[in-house]
Amino acid sequence: DAKTTQPNSMESNEEEPVHLPCNHSTISGTDYIHWYRQLPSQGPEYVIHGLTSNVNNRMASLAIAEDRKSSTLILHRATLRDAAVYYCILGAGANNLFFGTGTRLTVIP
């Protein structure tokens, strides 16, 4: 299974943009890049996914490198509610995703 590498933790000031990086140098051609987040004391929730092109939705944007070996989740204006563990995951669909330890995002008021 292709794995991802993320920083253990990051901090951001409230109302500022946040760029969460993810490296996935062994990604295969059929792997989607998925992002989930886990708020304290809750189950993970889906954030966004993409294959090759950059993606935007109401929660975030996903920027995918041209060679697909890295990607960046962008939160345009961090709020205190965005404090969570963010997981970058590879998989050909939503089945059997491997959730690593993710990046713990702290938002500073």
Partner 1 sequence: EADIYQTPRYLVIGTGKKITLECSQTMGHDKMYWYQQDPGMELHLIHYSYGVNSTEKGDLSSESTVSRIRTEHFPLTLESARPSHTSQYLCASVPSGTYNEQFFGPGTRLTVL
Span from 16-24, 56-64, 67-75, 93-101 in contact with partner 1 (CB under 8 A): 93-101
Cβ distance 21 to 67 under 8 Å?
no
The answer to whether residue 36 forms part of the interface with partner 1 (CB under 8 A) is yes
Burial 47-56 (b: 16+ CB within 10 A, else e): bbbbeeeebe
Q: Which residues contact 52 (CB under 8 A, 6 or more apart)?
A: 64, 68
By beta-carbon proximity to partner 1, the closer residue of 63 and 104 is: 104
Q: Of the two residues 21 and 100, which places its CB atom closer to partner 1 in the complex?
A: 100
Residue (13 or 26) nearer to partner 1, CB: 26
Q: Interface with partner 1 includes 53 (CB under 8 A)?
A: no
Contact call for residue 93 and partner 1 (CB under 8 A): yes
Q: Which residues of 79-102 are buried (b: 16+ CB within 10 A; e: fewer)?
A: eeebbbbbbbbbbeeeeeeeeeeb
Which of 13, 17, 26, 46 binds partner 1 (CB under 8 A)? It is 46
How far apart, in whole angstroms, are the C-alpha atoms of residue 35 and residue 102?
Answer: 10
By CB under 8 A, tell whether 74 contacts partner 1.
Answer: no
Where does this chain bind partner 1 (CB under 8 A)?
A: 32, 34, 36, 41-46, 49, 93-101
